[in-house]
Amino acid sequence: MSEVRLTINGQPTVAQSGQTILEAAQAAGIDIPVLCHHPALSSWGACRMCVVEVKGMRGLQTACTCPVADGMEVQTETESAVAVRKFVLQLLFSERNHYCMFCQMSGDCELQDAAYRYGLDHFTYPRPYQKLNVDASRKYFIMDHNRCILCTRCVRACSEIAANHTLDLRARGADSMIMADLDVPFGESSCVECGTCLQVCPTGALIDARSAYGGREKDVVHTETTCMQCSVGCTLDVVTRYNRLLRVDGVWGSEPNDGLLCVDGRFTPLYEERKRLTSPMVRKDGKLVETGWDEALAAVAAKLKEGGAEGLATCATTNEALGAFAGLLAKAKGEVGLLEPVAPALGYGVTARLSDILDADFIVVAGAQPLDYQRVVGYFIHRAADKGATVAVIADSENSMSKRAAMTVSYAEADKVAKAAAAAKKIVLVYSVGIKGKVIAAFRQLGDRLFALALSPGRNEKGATALGLKPIEPNGAKTQFFLMGEQSEDQGLLAKLNGAYTVVQASYVSALVEKADVVLPAPVWYERTGHVTDYSGTVKPVAEVLPKPATVRDDAEVLAALAAML
């Protein structure tokens, strides 16, 4: 890259070659209006809002696609550029239904903002009043074609960021329409409901069913935190109003997910249907009854003092809580470990970051199902596949990654994949607990060309492992303390219970909770303060988005209080 000197509105500006006029103007603090352009997406140049005059060039240029050149003289608000923008806006407003008074985006709409900027006080062209479809066939968000300006941001987000290629345009000219797959209802399409399209839509065409009409940007509170739904640890922007969860957005430019989320991070936690535990409970005469914290903690402390306790944790909580749990069990001279299995270390290769997937030319998925359990990783692999990387799946059962893979082989044939990968420059091995010794052995020869991405089922497995916690089985101890967080127990666990005195610290009612002798209510993801460790070992903050119910106490604090009682 070399420096390019140009002037924008007479202001001398230094840009990098390869940058667009829009990027150079933004860096210089000059605002050029856009509609179809989005910084996270490729430039399209379709809406003509960003047209500018460049001395010596015929006609107007779209600033979002026109590269800068040395000596360029750009004017962004000339009479002809402004006239074209107003004309474009009038055409957009005349095409579909852009009546703001009953639109949930009014106040936060980029089309509306552009119209304000250019002083549109009425429509100059007739409106056709076409009755277009409102597609509410998906659970979490709605597509109202009447509000669509065909900017194709959603299409580009779907193909470039989620790499899912569900959305496209059909027909031509005024008949153009956003469609899913071969024009099927969105709910019946290949859409994975990651919501990236919703996040980039400039108008009210894509509607979040939960937060629509719930508050405009000026009314809401944004809190950045870390997703605790799987072990990836994506950065979330949680939007709230009046102590109510409205919406979750991705944060562009953030590690590790760069704005991309999945249905489990963005939508499902806001539709939680399990019954919340809000009060400590103690079993009396065979029945669990609500009680105060003092009585519940005294009962637990008394049992722990007897010794011979076992602590069994899921990773669905913070590093602080896991550390306090390990500390408590150490003080009680009991064994402590994890209920969830952990992906083994390979013993070779470089620890991969998610971004390594994007510039790898060969990706192996072995004993892992990222598209189902760590979906953002699956979408990153699809992005790499779109750029030409070879994807190979090693699995003995059906794997959803196979659909876009160049080859799928059984564990017995792992050597075949290793042989194919041998010619590659950069190999990423994405694996989980399902990986077999034979696979680990097969890739050893690749040495430091291999980047290893271990995905464990436990949400904060890396945090737990860093604390020295390892998977264990219930060992028949007479007191068993389960640290569950938001995780419901695995089906097999109940069968392994041996009638021990059972303490459960959890957020939701479950079969395990119903068998417990003492129940300690725990906060949920948006009520926690502390840290989790993401897939790469980076410690990330978890912020309190909303206050806990008054009768729920932080699990780390409760565990420390218990330790002090021993």
Partner 1 sequence: MGEKITVATQWLESCAGCHMSFLDIDERIVELLKYVELSSSPITDMKHPPEEGVVVGILTGGIGNEDEAHEAKLMRERCKILIAMGDCAVTGGICTMRNFFDKEDVLRRGYIETERTVDGEIPVHEELTPLTDQVSGVGDVVPVDIYLPGCPPSADAIWYVLTELLAGRMPKLEGNVLKYGSDGG
Near partner 1 by CB under 8 A, which window of 114-122, 239-247, 400-408, 462-470? 114-122
Q: Rounded CA gap, 54 and 33, in Å?
A: 16
In the set 11, 18, 55, 116, which binds partner 1 (CB under 8 A)? 116
What is the largest distance, in Å, between two alpha-carbon atoms of the chain?
A: 90
Buried b (16+ CB within 10 A) or exposed e, 169-189: eeeeeeeeebbbeeeeebeeb
Which one, 116 or 271, has the nearer CB to partner 1?
116
Provide the residue type at 150 as one letter.
L
Task: Fill in the per-residue mask, 184 to 203: x = in contact with partner 1 (CB under 8 A), - = not in contact.
Answer: --------------------
Q: Rounded CA gap, 225 and 291, in Å?
A: 32
In the set 62, 112, 240, 510, which binds partner 1 (CB under 8 A)? 112
Q: How far is the CB of 52 from partner 1 (least distance, A)?
A: 22
Q: Check binding of 125 to partner 1 (CB under 8 A).
A: no
Q: At what angle do helices 555-565 and 319-331 cross, to 10 degrees?
A: 20
Q: How far is the CB of 274 from partner 1 (least distance, A)?
A: 36
Q: How far is the CB of 88 from partner 1 (least distance, A)?
A: 17
In the set 39, 45, 67, 107, which binds partner 1 (CB under 8 A)? 107
In the set 1, 101, 182, 550, which binds partner 1 (CB under 8 A)? 101
Q: How far is the CB of 11 from partner 1 (least distance, A)?
A: 24
Interface with partner 1 in residues 130-149 (CB under 8 A): 130-131
# residues contacting partner 1 (CB under 8 A): 18
Q: Check binding of 100 to partner 1 (CB under 8 A).
A: yes
Provide the residue type at 493 as one letter.
L
In the set 2, 3, 102, 550, which binds partner 1 (CB under 8 A)? 102
With a CB cutoff of 8 Å and minimum separation 6, the contacts of 314 are 338, 339, 340, 458, 459, 483, 484, 485, 487, 489
In the set 5, 55, 127, 333, which binds partner 1 (CB under 8 A)? 127
Q: How far is the CB of 125 from partner 1 (least distance, A)?
A: 11
Q: Rounded CA gap, 556 and 324, in Å?
A: 6
Q: What are phi and psi of 247, to 5 degrees?
A: -165, 155
In the set 22, 35, 40, 103, which binds partner 1 (CB under 8 A)? 103
In the set 2, 59, 79, 122, which binds partner 1 (CB under 8 A)? 122
Q: State the DSSP code for 375.
A: H
Q: How far is the CB of 117 from partner 1 (least distance, A)?
A: 9
Helix (H, G, I), strand (E, B) or coil at 345: coil
- Asked if 422 and 445 touch (Cβ cutoff 8 Å), the reply is yes
Cis ω on the peptide bond leading into residue 256 (within 30° of 0)? yes
Q: At what angle do helices 79-95 and 110-117 cross, to 10 degrees?
A: 140
Which one, 94 or 190, has the nearer CB to partner 1?
94
**Two structure tokens written together for 180:** 């899913």
Q: How far is the CB of 101 from partner 1 (least distance, A)?
A: 4
Near partner 1 by CB under 8 A, which window of 105-113, 195-203, 422-430, 488-496? 105-113
Specify which residues 5 forms β-bridges with.
14
In the set 5, 70, 80, 123, which binds partner 1 (CB under 8 A)? 123
Q: Rounded CA gap, 47 and 173, in Å?
A: 13
**Two structure tokens written together for 115:** 């119209």
Near partner 1 by CB under 8 A, which window of 62-70, 112-120, 294-302, 505-513? 112-120
Q: Rounded CA gap, 508 and 523, in Å?
A: 9
Interface with partner 1 in residues 273-292 (CB under 8 A): none
Q: How far is the CB of 174 from partner 1 (least distance, A)?
A: 17
Q: Is 68 left (phi over 0), alpha (psi -120 to 50) or beta?
A: beta
Near partner 1 by CB under 8 A, which window of 72-80, 104-112, 155-163, 532-540? 104-112
Near partner 1 by CB under 8 A, which window of 128-136, 255-263, 524-532, 551-559? 128-136
Cβ atoms < 10 Å from Cβ of 439: 21
Near partner 1 by CB under 8 A, which window of 125-133, 265-273, 392-400, 462-470? 125-133
Give Cα 330 to chain centroid, integer Å.
36
In the set 29, 56, 59, 119, which binds partner 1 (CB under 8 A)? 119
Near partner 1 by CB under 8 A, which window of 123-131, 285-293, 332-340, 534-542? 123-131
Which one, 58 or 131, has the nearer CB to partner 1?
131
Cis ω on the peptide bond leading into residue 474 (within 30° of 0)? no
Q: Rounded CA gap, 365 and 443, in Å?
A: 12
Q: Rounded CA gap, 379 and 239, in Å?
A: 24
DSSP string, 457-486: SSTTHHHHHHTT--B------SEEEEEEET
Q: How far is the CB of 120 from partner 1 (least distance, A)?
A: 8
Near partner 1 by CB under 8 A, which window of 127-135, 306-314, 487-495, 550-558? 127-135
Which one, 87 or 118, has the nearer CB to partner 1?
118
Q: Check binding of 177 to partner 1 (CB under 8 A).
A: no
Residues that bind partner 1 (CB under 8 A): 99-103, 106-107, 112, 115-116, 119, 121-123, 127, 129-131
